[in-house]
Amino acid sequence: MKDETSELIHGEAVEKDLALLRLKPNLQGYDKLRKTFKWSDAEELIDWYPDGKVNSAYNVIDRHALGMNKDKIALIHDDGQGNVQKISFEEMYRETNKFANVLAKLGIRKQERVFVFLQRSPELYVSFLAAIKAGAIASPMFPAFGPDAIRDRLLDSGAVAIVTDTELVKRVYPVRNQLPDLKHIVVVGDANSELGEISYEAEMRAASENFETLHMNPEEFQFMLYTSGTTGKPKGVVHAHKGIVQQTLTSRWVLDLHDEDVYWCTADLGWITGVVYGCLGPWSCGVTQVGLGGRFDPDRWYRLIEDHRVNVWYTAPTAVRMLMAKGDDLPAKYDLTSLRVLYSVGEPLNPEGVKWALDVFDNKPFHDTWWQTETGSILITNFPEMPIKPGSMGKPLPGIEAEIVDEEGNVLPQGHEGNLVIRPGWPSMMRQIWNNQSKYNEYLRNGWYYTGDTAQIDKEGYFWYVGRADDVIKTSGERVGPFEVESALIEHEAVVEAGVIGKPDQLRGNIIKAFIVLAPGYTESDELKKDIQKFVKGHLAGHAYPREIDVVKSLPKTRSGKIMRRLLRARELGLPTGDTSTLEE
Ligand code: WTA
């Protein structure tokens, strides 16, 4: 049988001299652990209430504030303009207690949905964690979202409250009257009481610093995050409090966090990486985290590492490529010697990126990690103790059974490309798709959880990403559903039909490309295309607009009227078009 993996393997593995590592990796003896590890072993990393209940936010903040880490800095928030705030675990404890009291005063009940729609700021972490303490299901929302995206999420989840700021609240009002469940709008900054907005600052001043964090059943929900699939609107991926077990374990075993580390995750809290590894997991380990406001800027990124002596850094391939594109002179201007281990997630990390880091960051490679909004924590990864194969996602976490299977669930022979699947039941696995049992069921087939990705395994058990098995687009590592973009496009008066694909791009991994059919009376022009782009940015999201638009006479559709995105993509990329027997053009 042909070994198809060989073509994926680029060059030599990056071997590590373990004796030279600054700190001994937390995970030792991977091969043995894969045989012996039980999830119950990891439960010891977490504090449980004597009644057997738990609260993830208690583990993230309270236990440190009430213990030896009381005065330790939890958050170094740098607003990107030279203003730095340092907040200890005890201060985080008091602030989250206060905001949990504010939510209680508003009458928020257990498991009601509270959305947090804020720019990166201390208030973002405080309100997210306070909502979890109060027993609500907290849901952070990416600040680039526009009114349509906001409406879809708040409406589907039946959110009762949103915490936002003076600027972002303006995007809520256009859809406010479509949200019958939304009772409270809490505003950081200038709240307009005439519109019924609640002032964050005023309520915080009046709130007590004492709050009894709610004891939750481990299977009750801590947060939900909307994410995109191939079809339909974004779906609410719901995570249970018990997930904190694995979120803590992977922060130790994969991110290799040690007590003395200063850690920086570049992801926004609006994405799963920001929630799990820019908030929950590292703080549950009692580590100091750095947060940076503002937009991507290579100078500021390097300066942040130098200023705050960052040891562990978790970022994304697009950011790595953007830093690479800036050249090696720039990093040479900064003292980056504090860096100890580097990680990446969200899309394939090019082998060049791994190697570039070796040159620029004094022999430290990027460790690629693989996971999804639905998996709730890292499942496949390159571990600090192992050699890295540049271009590979690494190996499964102990406790995780990952395989490559066909559509019937048969495990394929080593080296074959197929569906990447995981045996269900790991602690941080999503528990539901909100209000959509059938969507949830689609993931679970033949006794496996189907990730929607295709991959291969090489002879040494390293996993290699091949692609998506569906139409989900990863652009700059951010997950976008073609349906959402198509829906936004056809709201524009000049567009009658739209088909959207991801088009491979050197820098961004993929860009969003749209094929549109114009309404009668409109003619193609650059101006019109720009107007359509602006429209999508304004309605859906600043990051999810088509960078390229082609005007076409018609779109390829199946007999039942579904747009054949696959065919659009194949034609665009000059690939074989495959089976077109259902085509009705
Ligand atoms: C992709 C992000 C290649 C993949 C945490 C997955 C990756 C989707 C990698 C989930 C990686 C994530 N190599 N592709 N190391 N990590 N992906 O939900 O297609 O935003 O299914 O979660 O990102 O995206 P999500």
Which CATH number goes with the domain that contains 557?
Answer: 3.30.300.30
Q: How far, in Å, is the centroid of ligand 1 from the Cα of 84?
A: 32
pLDDT in tens, 309-319: 999 999 999 99
Q: Is residue 317 part of a domain?
A: no
Quote the CA–CA distance of 483 and 289 in Å, as a whole number. 36
| Ligand 1 atom nearest residue 273's Cα | 5
pLDDT band at 387 (very low <50, low <70, confident <90, very high): very high
Backbone torsions φ then ψ of 458, nearest 5 degrees: -90, 180
Domain that holds residue 488: 473-573
Q: Is residue 161 part of a domain?
A: yes
pLDDT in tens, 197-240: 999 999 999 999 999 999 999 999 999 999 998 788 899 999 99
Q: Give SS3 for 125.
A: helix
Q: How far, in Å, is the centroid of ligand 1 from the Cα of 389?
A: 18
Q: Is residue 578 part of a domain?
A: no
Q: How far, in Å, is the centroid of ligand 1 from the Cα of 372?
A: 5
The residue out of 180, 203, 236 marking a domain boundary is 236
What is the end-to-end Cα distance of the chain in Å, rounded?
A: 39
Pocket test residue of 237, 371, 419 for ligand 1, highest count of atoms within 8 A of CB: 371
Q: How far, in Å, is the centroid of ligand 1 from the Cα of 468?
A: 9
Domain count, the chain: 2
- DSSP labels for 40-54? HHHGGGS---TTS-B
Contact criterion met (CB below 8 Å) for 343 and 369:
yes
Q: What is the pLDDT of residue 68?
A: 95
Q: What is the pLDDT of residue 507?
A: 94
Place of tokens 């905001």: 99
* Amino acid present at 160: V
- Provide, rounded to the nearest whole percent, the portion of the chain with pLDDT above 90: 92
Residue 297 gets which letter from DSSP?
-
The residue out of 236, 254, 287 marking a domain boundary is 236
Q: Is residue 500 part of a domain?
A: yes
Query: pLDDT at residue 550 above 70?
Result: yes
Q: How far, in Å, is the centroid of ligand 1 from the Cα of 320?
A: 16
Task: Check which CATH number belongs to the domain holding 177 and give it.
Answer: 3.40.50.980
pTM for the complete prediction?
A: 0.95
Pocket test residue of 224, 344, 345 for ligand 1, highest count of atoms within 8 A of CB: 345
Query: pLDDT at residue 258 above 90?
Result: yes
| Mean pLDDT score of the chain | 95
Pocket test residue of 420, 465, 508 for ligand 1, highest count of atoms within 8 A of CB: 465
Contact criterion met (CB below 8 Å) for 351 and 10:
yes
Over residues 344-363, mean pLDDT = 93
Contact criterion met (CB below 8 Å) for 55 and 213:
yes
Six-digit token string for 266: 């570049």
Q: What is the CB neighbour count within 10 angstroms for residue 50?
A: 6
Residue 239 belongs to what H/E stretch?
strand 235-240
The 3-class secondary structure across 365-379, one letter per residue, is CEEEEECCCCCCCCC
Q: Is residue 376 part of a domain?
A: no
Q: What is the pLDDT of residue 11?
A: 60
* Amino acid present at 129: L
Quote the CA–CA distance of 463 and 503 in Å, as a whole number. 24
Q: Is residue 8 part of a domain?
A: no
Query: pLDDT at residue 7 above 50?
Result: no
Q: Is 252 in the pocket of ligand 1 (CB under 6 A)?
A: no
| Ligand 1 atom nearest residue 465's Cα | 3
| Ligand 1 atom nearest residue 393's Cα | 15
C-alpha angle 402-406-408 in degrees, rounded to nearest 5: 105
β-pairing, 184-188 with 418-422?
unpaired
* Amino acid present at 34: R
| Ligand 1 atom nearest residue 374's Cα | 18
The residue out of 236, 257, 272 marking a domain boundary is 236
Q: Is 372 in the pocket of ligand 1 (CB under 6 A)?
A: yes
Q: How far, in Å, is the centroid of ligand 1 from the Cα of 416?
A: 20
Six-digit token string for 221: 């929900």
Q: What is the CB neighbour count within 10 angstroms for residue 446?
A: 13
pLDDT in tens, 553-585: 999 998 888 899 999 999 999 988 777 776 765
Q: Is residue 444 part of a domain?
A: no
Six-digit token string for 223: 């947060």
Quote the CA–CA distance of 345 and 394 in Å, as a whole number. 12
Q: Is residue 292 part of a domain?
A: no
Quote the CA–CA distance of 9 and 11 in Å, as a whole number. 6
Over residues 419-423, mean pLDDT = 98
Six-digit token string for 272: 């799963």
